[in-house]
Structure formats: structure tokens, C-alpha cells
């Protein structure tokens, strides 16, 4: 089975390494040998044996009928989207680690794959090496999924873990992470939650079977989390994690990316450093969690190659994926019900009473530095905002959602 | 797609409940409606609508060509083994939650399924509702697996969790678990590790592709674990878990079931109460963990029904499972390398020095009640036994293996 690889960066070179290191066991699993015939890259690699496979023209790959599977590890929408479409329409299966592409065009590309009886696979686009896409498609098939909540970004989880363990500020840890190469020079995609947003959009679409537009998902990052928030979290026997979540609530579905306080007894609470995990709640199977390395050359490449194996095994059969192009009407952000942890500055004598009057019964939290801190009961986002508005004369130091 | 169900006990009635509750989404996943045509049970159920589907004669099912999938939830080898063989040979797929059957006859039944181009599926036989069999077969296909270690028995994990959290003895918690119905009146299958042994035999066979005989797996239960051991574990920042494990070591493979001390930073350490989890280490993807409810009516039934869906989707195609009948030659127990935690009674003045002389450098642990406690370096089991023999004049209060 001849494969072409698009992109010879970190993940792409990992794909070559995985296929060459484990060729024997991979052949056993795929039922036939897997051979890389071309590697598309703009660059040449004169000192790498891969150089003899390098091509600079995508059409060489597209027009070669021997190539039955194309694996993409370039990222970005252009030219990946056109490449994916062209390959599928030519009857080649397409596997990708490209979360932007899958979040934006997944439903359409799945449909094209179906029409041409080939496969569009994207295990590596969420959770790196963690098997989650295939389990959602093929294992959790007897359940209706009520919730998926994930730690989907390793960089922010690393930062939050360091802030907690070492009592350091966000800025300080981010700077160190940048120096160590764990965070990008422009860290917005990670720390503002944009990366997690694409990933939860993909998981939501698979969970509910219809397209969730990532632009419709309210997204907050971790830049406002302080070391004082971490101290409060510890007092409450909680940790703070950046969570992407989608849940059924009442008769519809909401999705969100935001930092949240979760109890230390929740399985996601122990997921530290650069590890990722995806928690799934089915109406029959109840709680499940999938844990592993959410990024990195070889873990991500392992997932890409597992997709290549699956495409090879399913030559001539489209593996059904329930994700159609109909768009889900997400519940409006302001109608989602949630509890908040709130820190107010300068608690004067009457503040506690005022808070209780405005919010109804709250759970007071032992406060630092003369602050007043509490957890609200569960209420709609819009009601929370209104009530907080009534306290506009008091400075709000933090408001962080609490995972039930 | 017509299905027959063998056994209408806890899991069997769960299978009916799952299929009826989620019929719409299951039909979407399977691509066709799934209908239970017969339920085989010795009993009648006059007050249950299922009664009209009850048959007492297996041959009714076997001879009905409309029945394409048989789901078994009876347990035990007889008559399950004969039923499985007969169904597969008649061209019916067979799905089962029966770990004894799979551990003993899995390789043979997979071969029969292959010959007849049907499927033998057993997701529910390990880890209840946790997707682990299918991920091993279909997701972790780019890796060579170096280790699988699991908390595979909910009853013992519940007992160990209670002993730790409440400082109680094994006997005390077992008695309570029996009263609550979490443990059987004859608890040997759970507390002696026999249940975990069958499950790790199945996982080992899938990880390494050849048959691991469960009778060859050294198996120790948790009956000797004391509340003092739990205190020591806490001091060492560890927990004690009953772990089934299989690992590559040197050029071969070992498997074992035993209580082990694991660091609280290991992802398995936070798996509490009746939850199960399976930790997998691949040579490319590195650490993965799969977590969920390892038992219970609906979680287990969810896995059985997921297998039914898979069998329906793959009608006419054998889903390859790498588990052939060749037997793995497991590494001899005495040659496996491991570190031990040891507690000795009545530490007299010279005992520490003697221990260091016999064992080489050990890591001393702050001891309770005038004991002497230490962790050995990693050594072969036979060398550990020999060295301990040299201390035969001292009473050994505990020896527990330490997971690296």
C-alpha cells in the first residue's frame, strides 16, 4: 500500500519514523506492507535519506494511481483543504492531524469521502496520540453522549500545573515555557483557548452527529488566572483547568472553552503537565476517560499512522462517521446554567449580606487579604451577569466557573 | 438485524434495556435496526414483556437463519464454549462479556470466526464499559506495546480505597462490601486476584499477539494487605493497588497479578472505588490510560451492545484481531526483576546494617512501632527470595512489590 506524506515537519518526520521503526507490526495490523512513496515539502533535505522521496509538486502525488492513501501533517486551511478535496475526489483516502481543517471542513470532507467510497480520518487532530475519535465512532456506539469535557491543550495545562505546584504567576510560567519551547512566541492560540476551541468543536460534532461551528463556541483563555486563584482552588479542594466542554442541558446542547474549578475527586483533576484527557459521559456507560500525550512528534505521528493502517484495512469501504453537514443550533451562551466562584475586593461589614441578598444563598469561601469570596448556586449566565452588575461598585478580582 | 441473547441475568437484562432505550441512535450507528428475536434462559419471566421472546432450547436460535448475531451474558465455560463454537460455525457472529471463555478459548474462537468470515467480539470481558479491546485492536496499531497495567477488578479496588481512606482492616471492609452486595459471599474470585488474572491474560494476548495462558500468570490477591501497609504507603507518597500487568522485560514478556505500591503521580493511583483503568505504554505513543466503570449492569451492557453494533456493521467481514493460537513463553516468575517494599518486626540495633549487607544499598522507610522498613533496589524475584531467606530469623510483616 503506497502512501504519500504531505509535510515533513515535526509530525511528518515522526510519521516516517513510526512507519520505519515498527514496520513489521504495522504490516501485521494493516494486512499488507505500508510504504511511503512521496513526501511533499517545499524544502529539500540533502542529508536525510528521505530526500529521494521529496517532491515539490502536489500533482505528482494526485496523478499517481499507485498512491492510495495521503497523510497530511502541514496544518492550516490552505492548501490543505484543496489537497484533501482533490485526493478524496480522486479516490484516495486522506488522513490528517490538522485540527483547523477538520473543525472547519470536517463535515464536508466526510461527505466527499462517503461519495467516493474512501476514508477521511483525523485521529491525530484531537488529543495527539490519545485514541478518542475512533472510540467515539466505533466503541461508544450504544450510548447517547450527554457530555464531553476535555483538557485539550498541553501548553496551558503545563502552565496551570506549574502555577499550582510552584505558586508562580501566569506571566512568569509562560515566559519559562516559551524559553523551553513548550509555548510559542505568539502564545495566543494556546493561552486564549483557540486551539482547545477547534478540538471541542470536532468532539461536539462527533458526539451529537451534526456540525458544531467552532466560531459559535464561547471561548475564554487562562490569561486572567492569578496565583491567588490557585490558592483559593486549593482551599476548596479543587484545581483550575482549561476545559473544553459540550453538554446536553435541558433540550439542547451547549459548548464552551473556559478555565474551570473542578473538584480533586474528578478524574480530570489529576491530569497534569502536558498530558491531555477527554472525559465522556454516556447515558448507559456513564463516566469514561481517555488519557495520554496530547502533542509531541511521536505520539501524534502514532495516531496518524494508526489512521493509515485503518485506511489500508478498509480499502473500498467507507467507515461511517456520524457527523453530517446540518448545523447544530447551540444553546445561547446567556441561557447556559452554571455556578461561579467570585472574589470581591475590600469586603466591608455589609458585603456578605448584600451578596446573599443579590445572589440568593451563596457558599462563602474563607478569604485572603480582606477579600470576600463565594460560590453561587447554579444559574443562567445572564442572571449571573445581571446580579454581578448590581455589585458594580465593588471590584471583582476573579470570576471562574465551577464544574459540577 | 436479528439478535439472540443468551442469559437474562444482570448483564443480559441490561442489554435489552440499552437496545430499547437508545434504539434510534443505535440504528444510526449500525446502519440498520437491531432487534432482539430470542432470549435464552432456563427461567420464565411471566411479569416481564421479555417473556414472549424467551426460549429454553438453544437449538431454536442456532437453527434460525434469521439470527445473525448471538450475544452471550451467561458466564462460565459450559455451555458457553459449545454455544460459541456452534454459532460461529453456523455463520453467526458471537459477542460475549464472558472473561473465562475468552481467556481460555479466545484464540480458538477467533480462528473459527475467521474461517467462517464472521466475528467473535468481547469488549465487555475486560473493564466493563471501558473501550479497551477495540482500541487495542484498531487504534493502537502503529505501536509496539511495551506494557499494559490495569486496575481490573472493581471489588478489590473498592476495598483498597476504603482501607486507605478510612484506616480500616481488610476483613472489616470486605464484610461491609459483602453486606452491600459489592462483594460475593465467596469472594475468592475477586480478592485472590483470579478475576484480574483472566482479564490480564486477555489483554496480554492482544498486546503481544499470541496466546497467554491465564494459568501461567503468577497471581496474588489482597488478603494479606493490612491497614499498617496503607499507613506506610501514605508515608511513601504511594497507594496500594491490585494490578494486573504484562510487560516486555529484556527479550521476553512477563505477566503478573499482585498488589503493588505505586506513586501517587502515576495516573492509575487516582483510580478509586469501583472504577477500573487500563494503562498502556506504546513504543511511539508512550503513556495512555483508559478509565471507567469496570462492572455494573448498564456499563457492561453498553459494551456488549457496542459489539453487536460492530458485528452488524461488519456483516460479511472478519475484523482482524491479532491473537493467534501459538502460546507465548512467559518469562519464568523467578527471573522477573522487581523492587520490593519490606517490613520487618522488632528492629534491633544491628538489623539495618544486616539488611544493607544482604540486600546491598536499600532505601530505608521511616518505620512504625519499632519495625524496620525499606525498599530494595530492582532485582530478580529469585534473588529477592534468597536474600530474604538469609533473614529467616526475623519476622517479615509485609513484602509488597513496587511499581517503578
CA distance A24 to A29: 9
**Which of B129, B289, B320 is nearest residue A31 as measured by Cβ atoms?**
B320
User: Which member of A21, A138, A292 has the closest CB to residue B289?
Assistant: A292
Same domain, B144 and B285: yes
User: Measured between alpha carbons, how far is B83 from B73 in angstroms, rounded to an integer?
Assistant: 12
The arithmetic mean of pLDDT across residues A282-294, rounded, is 97
- Averaged confidence pLDDT in chain A: 96
Q: How far is CA A219 from the centre of its chain?
A: 12
Q: Is the pLDDT of residue A182 over 90?
A: no
Per-residue pLDDT, averaged over A132-152, amounts to: 97
Helical H segments across B152-222, by residue range: 154-166, 170-179, 188-191, 194-208
**Centroid of chain to Cα A231:** 27
Assess if residue B329 is contained within a domain.
no
The answer to the question of residue B328 being in a domain is no
Higher-confidence residue of A30 and B320: namely A30
- Of the pLDDT bands very low, low, confident and very high (cuts 50, 70, 90), residue B9 is very high
Q: Which among B144, B145, B174, B143 has a CA at the least distance from the CA of B158? A: B174
Whether the pLDDT of residue B346 is over 90: the answer is no
Q: Which residues of B touch A310 (CB under 8 A)?
A: 138, 141
Q: Are residues B151 and B282 in the same domain?
A: yes
Q: State the pLDDT confidence band at B315, using cuts at 50, 70 and 90.
A: very high
- Tell me how far CA of residue A146 lies from CA of A58, A103, A207, A383, B46, in angstroms: 42, 20, 8, 24, 34
Higher pLDDT, A383 or B348: A383
**A383–chain B nearest CA distance, Å:** 35
Say whether pLDDT at A321 is over 90: no
Q: Which residue in A282, A287, A299 is closest to B285 by CB distance? A: A299
Q: What is the pLDDT of residue A331?
A: 97
Q: Which of B25, B141, B306 lies nearest to residue A139, judging by beta carbons?
A: B306
ipTM > 0.90 (yes/no): yes
Q: Which three cell numbers stand for residue B389?
A: 531467606
Q: Are residues A118 and A146 in the same domain?
A: no
**Choice among B199, B241, B293, B387 that is catalytic:** B199
Mutate to test the interface with B, among A17, A114, A142, A275 (most CBs of B within 10 A): A142
Which one from A92, A162, A164, A199 is the annotated catalytic residue? Answer: A199
Do B161 and B289 belong to one domain? yes
Q: Do A289 and B291 count as a contact with CB atoms less than 8 A apart?
A: yes
Tell the residue number behind the cell numbers 509488597, with chain if given: B400
Q: Which residues of B touch A289 (CB under 8 A)?
A: 289-292
Residue of B nearest to A17 (CA): B284
Q: Note whether B360 and B395 are same-domain residues.
A: yes
Q: What's CA A85's distance to the chain center, in Å?
A: 24
Q: Residue A349: what pLDDT?
A: 81
Residue A165: exposed, middle, or buried by beta-carbon count in 10 A (0-12, 13-18, 19+)?
A: exposed
Helices and strands per DSSP (H, E), number in chain B: 14, 18
pLDDT digits (tens, 9 = 90+) for B202-242: 999 999 999 999 999 999 999 999 999 999 999 999 999 99
What are the chain B neighbours of A130 within 8 Å (beta carbons)?
288
* For residues A17-36, average pLDDT: 97
Assess whether pLDDT exceeds 90 at residue B404.
Answer: no
Asked if residue A285 and residue A150 are part of one domain, the reply reads yes
Phi, psi of A284 (to 5 degrees): -115, -50
Task: Confirm if B291 and B271 have CB atoms less than 8 A apart.
Answer: yes
Question: How far is A403 from A238, CA to CA, in rounded Å?
Answer: 10
- Catalytic (active site) residue B313: no
* Percent of chain B with pLDDT strictly greater than 90: 96
* B6 pLDDT more than 90: yes
* Parent domain of A352: 333-402
CA distance B11 to B41: 13
Residues A145 and A157 in one domain: yes
Q: What is the pLDDT of residues B163-207, one digit of tens each?
A: 999 999 999 999 999 999 889 999 999 999 999 999 999 999 999
Q: Is the pLDDT of residue A211 over 90?
A: yes
Q: How many domains does chain B have?
A: 3
Domain identity same for A163 and A279:
yes
Interface test with A, best of B10, B17, B139, B268 (most A CBs within 10 A): B139
**Predicted pLDDT of residue B303:** 98
Quote the strand ranges of A35-144, DSSP E: 35-40, 54-55, 67-72, 93-96, 120-121
Chain A residues touching B140 at Cβ < 8 A? 131, 302, 306
B161 and B251 inside one domain: yes
Q: For position A86, which CATH number holds?
A: 3.40.50.720
Length of chain B: 404
- A316 shares a domain with A286: no
How far apart are the CA of A314 and the nearest CA of chain B, in angstroms?
A: 10
Q: Is A320 close to B31, i.e. CB distance below 8 A?
A: yes
Nearest-10 crossing angle of helices A23-30, A10-21? 80
Of the pLDDT bands very low, low, confident and very high (cuts 50, 70, 90), residue A404 is confident
CA torsion through residues B61, B62, B68, B73, sign = positive
* Chain A neighbors of B144, CB-CB under 8 A: 22, 25
- Same domain as A341, residue A259: no
Does the pLDDT value for residue B374 go beyond 90? yes
Give pLDDT tens digits for B29-42. Answer: 999 999 999 999 99
The CATH number for A355's domain is 3.30.70.260
Mean of the per-residue pLDDT values for chain B? 96
The 10s digit of each residue's pLDDT in A71-88 is: 999 999 999 999 999 999
Name which of B121, B237, B284, B324 to mutate to probe chain A: the one with the most chain A Cβ atoms within 10 A of its Cβ: B284
DSSP single-letter state for residue A294:
-
Domain boundary among A325, A345, A371: A325
pLDDT at B320 over 90: no
The C-alpha of A287 sits at a distance from chain B's nearest C-alpha, in angstroms, of 6
Contact by Cβ (8 Å): B341, B398: yes
Q: Are residues A102 and A144 in the same domain?
A: no
CATH number reported for the structural domain that contains residue B153 in this entry:
3.30.360.10
Amino acid at each position: 500500500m503506497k502512501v504519500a506524506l504531505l509535510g515533513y515537519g515535526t509530525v511528518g518526520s515522526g510519521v516516517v519514523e513510526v512507519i520505519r521503526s515498527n514496520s513489521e507490526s504495522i504490516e501485521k495490523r494493516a494486512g499488507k506492507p505500508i510504504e511511503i512513496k512521496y513526501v511533499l515539502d517545499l524544502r529539500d533535505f540533502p542529508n536525510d535519506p528521505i530526500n529521494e522521496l521529496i517532491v515539490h509538486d502536489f500533482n505528482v502525488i494526485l496523478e499517481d494511481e499507485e498512491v492510495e492513501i495521503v497523510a497530511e501533517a502541514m496544518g492550516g486551511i490552505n492548501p490543505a483543504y484543496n489537497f484533501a478535496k482533490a485526493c478524496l475526489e480522486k479516490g484516495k483516502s486522506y488522513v490528517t492531524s490538522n485540527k483547523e481543517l477538520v473543525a472547519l471542513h470536517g463535515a464536508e470532507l466526510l461527505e466527499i469521502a462517503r461519495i467516493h467510497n474512501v476514508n477521511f480520518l483525523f485521529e491525530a487532530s484531537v488529543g495527539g496520540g490519545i485514541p478518542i475519535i475512533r472510540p467515539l465512532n466505533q466503541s461508544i456506539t450504544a450510548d447517547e453522549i450527554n457530555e464531553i469535557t476535555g483538557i485539550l491543550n498541553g501548553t496551558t495545562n503545563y502552565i496551570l500545573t506549574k502555577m499550582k505546584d510552584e505558586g508562580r504567576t501566569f506571566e512568569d510560567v509562560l515566559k519559562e515555557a516559551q524559553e523551553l519551547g513548550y509555548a510559542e512566541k505568539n502564545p495566543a492560540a494556546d493561552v486564549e483557548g483557540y486551539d482547545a476551541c477547534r478540538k471541542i468543536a470536532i468532539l461536539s460534532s462527533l458526539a451529537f452527529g451534526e456540525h458544531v461551528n467552532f466560531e459559535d463556541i464561547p471561548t475564554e483563555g487562562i490569561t486572567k488566572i492569578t496565583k491567588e486563584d490557585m490558592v483559593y482552588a486549593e482551599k476548596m479542594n479543587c484545581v483550575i483547568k482549561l476545559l473544553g466542554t459540550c453538554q446536553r442541558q435541558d433540550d439542547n446542547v451547549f459548548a464552551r472553552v473556559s478555565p474551570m474549578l473542578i473538584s480533586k475527586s474528578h478524574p480530570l483533576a489529576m491530569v497534569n503537565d502536558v498530558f491531555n484527557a477527554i472525559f465522556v459521559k454516556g447515558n448507559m456507560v456513564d463516566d469514561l476517560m481517555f488519557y495520554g500525550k496530547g502533542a509531541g512528534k511521536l505520539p501524534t505521528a502514532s495516531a496518524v499512522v494508526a489512521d493509515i493502517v485503518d485506511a489500508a484495512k478498509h480499502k473500498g469501504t467507507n467507515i461511517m462517521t456520524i457527523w453530517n453537514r446540518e448545523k447544530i443550533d447551540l444553546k445561547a451562551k446567556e441561557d447556559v446554567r452554571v455556578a461561579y466562584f467570585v472574589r470581591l475586593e475590600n469586603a466591608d461589614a455589609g458585603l456578605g449580606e448584600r451578596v446573599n441578598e443579590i445572589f440568593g444563598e451563596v457558599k462563602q469561601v474563607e478569604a485572603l487579604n480582606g477579600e470576600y469570596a463565594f460560590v453561587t448556586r447554579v444559574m443562567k449566565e445572564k442572571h449571573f451577569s445581571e446580579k454581578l452588575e448590581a455589585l458594580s461598585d465593588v471590584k471583582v478580582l476573579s470570576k471562574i466557573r465551577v464544574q459540577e
